[in-house]
Structure 1
Amino acid sequence: MSTLREVLAAHVRDGSVPGAVGLVARGDRVDVQAVGTADTGGGTPMAPDSIFRIASLTKPVTAAAAMMLIQDGRVGLEDPVAPWLPELRSPMVVRTPESPVDDVVPAARPITVSDLLTFRAGYGFPSDFSLPAVVPLFSELKQAPPQPRAVPAPDAWMAALSRLPLLYQPGEAWLYNTCSDILGVLIARASGLSLPEFLAERLFEPLGMTDTGFAVPAQKRDRFTSYYRAGEAGDLELVDAPDGQWGSMPDFPSAAGGLVSTVGDWCAFGRMMLAGGTAGGRALLTPESVRQMTTDHLTPAQRKASGLFTEGQGWGFGGSVDVERTDPWNVPGRYGWVGGTGTTAHIVPATGTVAVMLTQVEMTGPRPPLTMRDFWRHVAGARTT
C-alpha cells in the first residue's frame, strides 16, 4: 500500500495540483505530509501549517455552532426561523421546479432551524443549475465559487434572498449550499455576535484553531497558498493570490464556504467530534448534538435525488454521512465533506480516524477528483489506483 506522502506526491508529479497537505490521525498516531509548493511558480514549499481556503469544509463548523445555540436554549431545532430571519416569514415556492420565478404558491409550512441544518429549507442547488429559480442564487446571491469581496452584507443579502422563491416546499427536498449561509446569519442574529466573533469565542479559541477564520492577516500570508482553477488548455489559472480576496474581513462571512484553515486546525475540530463534543476536558458539544450532526436525516428518495453531490450517501448536519459501502472508502457512519477549492475532511467514528487533505485547485464540478478519491482509499486502507 502506498504511503500518504506517495499518494499526494503522485498528483503533484502529474500536474493535478502544485502541492498538497494531508493528515491522517488515529489516536496518538498522526501522519502529516506536505508535498509540492504553495503556488505554480515553484517557490514556497508546502508546509504542514500552510493555510488554505477550505470552502465547504466550513459547513460542519457552522452546523456545530448552530448546535451550540440550541444547547444554550436560544433556538430550538424545530423552531420556525422567522423570529431571527423575518425576511423568511412568508416564503413563496415555484409551482414546479421548472416554473418561472413568478409562478409561485405559498409555502405549506414555515422554514425551521432543522430545515436549514439538513439542507431541506427549499433554497439551494439541485442537479440542474439552469432552473429559473436556481439561476439567481449565482447571479444575485453569489453562491459559488467562494468570492468574499463580491457578496453584500448579511442584511442586504437576506433582503435579496427574500425576493427569491423556494425551489421546493420546506422539508421536501435536499438542496445544496444556501442553507449554510442562511444559518450563518441566524447564528449571528440569535447570538448577538458577528459570525466570526461567535466562531472564535465558542470553537476556534477553545480548540486552539489559531489559523482558522474568514481572513488571513498580513503576518500569516507567507503561509497562505494561492488558489487556482484548471484552464481550457489544461494549465492552472490563478484565481486568488495570498494578498487577494481573503486579505481582510468580508462584509458577508460565508458560513457555507468562507473559512481558511490548516490540516491541524480542522483535525482539532474532528477530534472534538470523535470525543463526543469534548476537547481538553471541556464540553463544547453534547454527545447528543454530535449524534444528531453525524446521523443521516434524509429519506431514501432524497438521498437518490442528491446523488450528484453526495453520490447517494446520506446527510447529517453540515456534512455527508455514509450509509452504505458503495466504494472502497465508504464506511457507514463516516462524516465529513469536500470543498470546491480542492479540500476534503472527514471523521470515521468506527476507527477513531480524522482525515484531512487540503489542495489549492478548484473542483470542476460536484464529483470529487481523483486526488480526493486516492486520499480516501489510502485512509480506508484500500489500494490506490
Structure 2
Amino acid sequence: MATVELMLDRRALLARGAGAGALALLGGASTALLAQDAGSLGGLEQLAESYVAQRKVANMVIAIGQGQQPSAMIARGTLGFISRTPVDADTLYRIYSMTKPVTGMAAMMLVDDGRIALDQPVADILPAFARLQVQKQPDGEITPDNLEAAVRPLTMRHLLTHTGGLGYSIVQQGPLAAAYREKGLVPALVSRVQAPGNFAGTPAASLEIFADNLATVPLVHQPGERWSYSVGLDLMGRVIEVVTGMPFDRFLQERIFDPCGMASTGFQVRQEDIGRLTDNYLIAGETLVPIDLAANSIYLDQPPFPFGGAGLVSTPRDYDRFLQMIVGFGQIDGRRVMSEAAVRLATSDLLPDTLAADSGFNLDGKPAGFGAGGAVGRGAQAGLYGWSGAAGTFGFVHTGQGVRASLFSQFMPGGQYRLQGQFLAEVARSTGVPLG
C-alpha cells in the first residue's frame, strides 16, 4: 500500500502519514454495521490489544459507529508507559492535522452564509496577498532571478485543498524552509524542547502576524497548479477571523464545539484536565522517547495563536461527535449545526480545474479528490472523507453509508507503523466492506 511516511528529516510531525493510502481500502461501505455489536469488532479489539501488548504504543482508543447511533468504543492501555491511569473515550489526545477538517467545515459555514466564496481571492479579505511571488525552482533560492509573479489569485478553494502553492515548514527545504522558521510560520506546537531541522522554530505571536509574515514569502508553486501540503488551513483561520470579526478559536467554539457537544476540544489543556492528557512519544529506532509528557506538556500553555491546521487537542468522544455531525449532513441529536448543502459541498471534490497533469492528489497511487481540509474518494471510494494526525490519530466518514470511525494513539512519526492501513482493513471487515 502506498503511504506518505513522516520522515524525521523532512516531513516530520504534521504530514498526513498513511491516511490517504489507507482511505483507499474503504470503497463502498456496507450498511451492515451495527457498532454496538461487540462480536463484529473482535479484529479491532485485537488490533488495539496487540499494539499495546507489544509496547508499540502506550494506548489506543478506537471509535466506530453508524448514522446517529452511539459509537462503540474500544480502549486499551494507559495514559503513558509509566502511568497506571487507563485511557477511555474522554482521554485527551493531540490530534494535529485532524484539526484541518474542523477548520474546513468552519470555512464552509461561511461559504454557506454567503460571507466568502470558494473562488474568491484571499486578497479580498487579506490585501497583503494581492501581489504574490512564486519560486521558479521550488525550494530554490529566494532571489529575483528565481521569482515570478503569480499568474492567478490565491483563492479560498486553494487554501482548503492545499493547491495554493503555499509552503509548509515540515515539507519545504533550503532557503524557503529557513524563511518559514525565521518568520514564525510554524504550524503547531510539539514540545518544550527545541530540536534541529523541521522540529525547530518559534511561532509568530498572533494569527494576524502569522498571515502578514506568510504574505512576504514566495509561493512554492503557481496557485491552482499542484496539490502540495501547506499552511492553507492555518491561513484560513485568519480569513475567518477577519470575516467574522471574532477570534478564530471563539468562532470554532460557538459554531462547532458547543453545538456538537464537544466539551473537551480546544487549543489548550486546562490544568484540571492534566489527568486526562496522554503522553506523546517519538519513535527513535526501536525506542519510544517521551517528547511531550502530560505533566509538563506544551499544551498546558496558552498557544501564541490557534493553529487551524494542526493545533487541536480532542477526545475520542468529542471527535466522534464531530464525525457524527458530518454523517448527519450537518445535524446531530436533532440539532442543526450546518446545512446539508454545506456538508455535501465540503465532503465533495473541490480540487480546482487548473491543476497541471499528474499534479493532483492521490489515494494509494490513484487520482483522488480533496474536499474542505480532508481527502475524498472518487469512483468506488466515493463518499469517503477524512484525514489523519501526525501523532497516530485518524478519523474518517463514509457519507453514503453513514459510517464513521476514528483511531487515537500518541506516537510520532504517525506513519511509522502503517497502523492506519491495518485499522482501515479491520473497519472494512467489521462493516462487511469488500477488499481489493
- Give, in whole Å, the separation in 1 of the partners of 2:161 and 2:150: 18
For 1:220 and 1:128, locate their aligned partners in 2 and report how far apart those are by CA, in whole Å: 33
Secondary structure at the counterpart of residue 152 of structure 2: coil
Which segment is superposed worse, 313-322 or 201-210? 313-322
Does 1:111 pair with 2:111? no
Deviation at 1:144, TM superposition (A): 5.5
**What does the per-residue CA deviation read over 1:51-75, in whole Å, with 9 as the maximum and x for residues that have no partner?**
1010011000001111112222222
Distance 1:189 1:309 in 2: 38
Residue 351 of structure 1: CA displacement?
2.3
Match of residue 100 from structure 1: 141
Q: Is it true that 1:320 corresponds to 2:375 in the alignment? A: yes
Contact 1:148 1:250 in 2 (8 A): no
Partner SS for 2:309: coil
Tell me if structure 2 keeps the 8 A contact 1:62–1:318.
Answer: yes
> What is the CA–CA distance in structure 2 between the aligned matches of 1:208 and 1:346, rounded to whole Å?
19
> Is 1:176 the counterpart of 2:229 in the alignment?
yes
- Aligned residue type for 2:374: G
Q: Where do 1:227-376 residues align within 5 Å?
A: 227-232=280-285, 234-242=286-294, 243-298=296-351, 306-307=361-362, 312-323=367-378, 331-363=381-413, 367=415, 369-376=417-424
Deviation of 1:90 after TM superposition, in Å, equals: 1.0
C-alpha deviations, 1:190-221, integer Å up to 9, x for none? 11111111000001001100000001111111
CA distance in 1 between counterparts of 2:65 and 2:393 reads 17
Query: For the residues of structure 1 that align with 2:401 and 2:343, how far apart are their CA atoms?
Result: 16
- Written as runs of structure 1 = structure 2, the 5 A alignment for 1:122-201 is 122-125=165-168, 129-130=172-173, 132-138=175-181, 140-143=183-186, 146-147=189-190, 150-152=202-204, 153-201=206-254
More divergent stretch after superposition (207-216 vs 1-10): 1-10
Partners of 1:270 and 1:96 in 2: CA distance: 40
Give the aligned partner of residue 3 of structure 2. none
Please list the CA deviations of residues 212-234 of structure 1 after superposition, one character each: whole Å capped at 9, or x if unmatched: 000111111100111111124x2
SS of the residue 1:258 aligns to:
coil
Distance 1:336-1:252 versus aligned 2 partners, 3 A rule = same
Once residues 108 and 355 of structure 1 are traced to their aligned partners in structure 2, the CA distance between those partners, rounded to angstroms, is 41
1:127–1:223 distance in 2 versus 1, CA, 3 Å: closer
Alignment CA distance shift 1:292-1:30 (3 Å): same
Q: In the TM superposition, what is the alpha-carbon distance from 1:370 to its structure 2 partner?
A: 2.5
Q: Provide the aligned length of Structure 1 versus Structure 2.
A: 376
Where in structure 2 are the equivalents of 1:12-23 lying within 5 Å? 12-23=52-63
How high is the TM-score relative to the length of structure 1?
0.89
Looking at structure 1, the residues matched to 244 and 101 of structure 2 have their Cα atoms a distance apart, in angstroms, of 18
Distance in 2 (alpha carbons) for counterparts of 1:316 and 1:309: 17
Percent identical: 31
Q: Which moved more, 1:336-345 or 1:95-104?
A: 95-104
Sort the Cα spacing of 1:383 and 1:362 in 2 relative to 1 into closer, same or farther, 3 A.
farther
Determine the C-alpha separation between the residues in 2 that align with 1:86 and 1:110: 11
Question: Cα 1:297–1:310, aligned 2, differ >3 Å: closer, same or farther?
Answer: farther
Does the Cα contact within 8 Å between 1:148 and 1:258 map onto a contact in 2? no
1:148–1:237 distance in 2 versus 1, CA, 3 Å: closer
Query: What code does the residue aligned with 1:6 have?
Result: Q
The answer to whether the 8 A contact 2:139-2:172 is kept is no
Residue in 2 aligned with 1:328?
A: none
CA, structure 1 residues 191+302, in 2 after alignment: closer, same or farther (shift >3 Å)? farther
- Deviation, structure 1 residue 176: 0.9
Q: Kindly tell me: are residues 304 and 106 of structure 1, through their superposed partners in 2, closer, same or farther at Cα, counting changes over 3 Å? A: closer
Structure 1 unaligned residues grouped into runs of 5+: 326-330
Where does residue 52 of structure 1 map in the other structure?
93
Q: Are the structure 2 counterparts of residues 251 and 216 from structure 1 closer, same or farther at C-alpha, using a change threshold of 3 Å?
A: same
User: Matched residues in 1 for 2:419 and 2:303: separation?
Assistant: 30
Unmatched tracts of structure 2, length 5 or more:
1-39, 193-201
Higher relative contact order (CA 8 A, sep 6+): 2
Q: Is the 8 A contact 1:56 1:337 kept in 2?
A: yes
Question: Counterpart of 1:317 in structure 2: which amino acid?
Answer: A
Does 129-138 or 93-102 show the bigger shift?
129-138
**Higher mean C-alpha deviation, range 67-76 or range 125-134:** 125-134
Which amino acid is the alignment partner of residue 285 of structure 1? M
Give CA-to-partner distance per residue, 1:314-362, whole Å, 9 cap, x none. Answer: 211100112256xxxxx33211000001100000123211101110111
Give the aligned residue type for 1:334: L
User: 1:71 & 1:344 partners in 2: Cα distance?
Assistant: 27
Q: Alignment RMSD, CA only?
A: 2.7
Distance, in Å, in 1 between the alignment partners of 2:366 and 2:87 is 31
Q: Which amino acid aligns with 1:66?
A: A
The range that moved more, 7-16 or 282-291, is 282-291
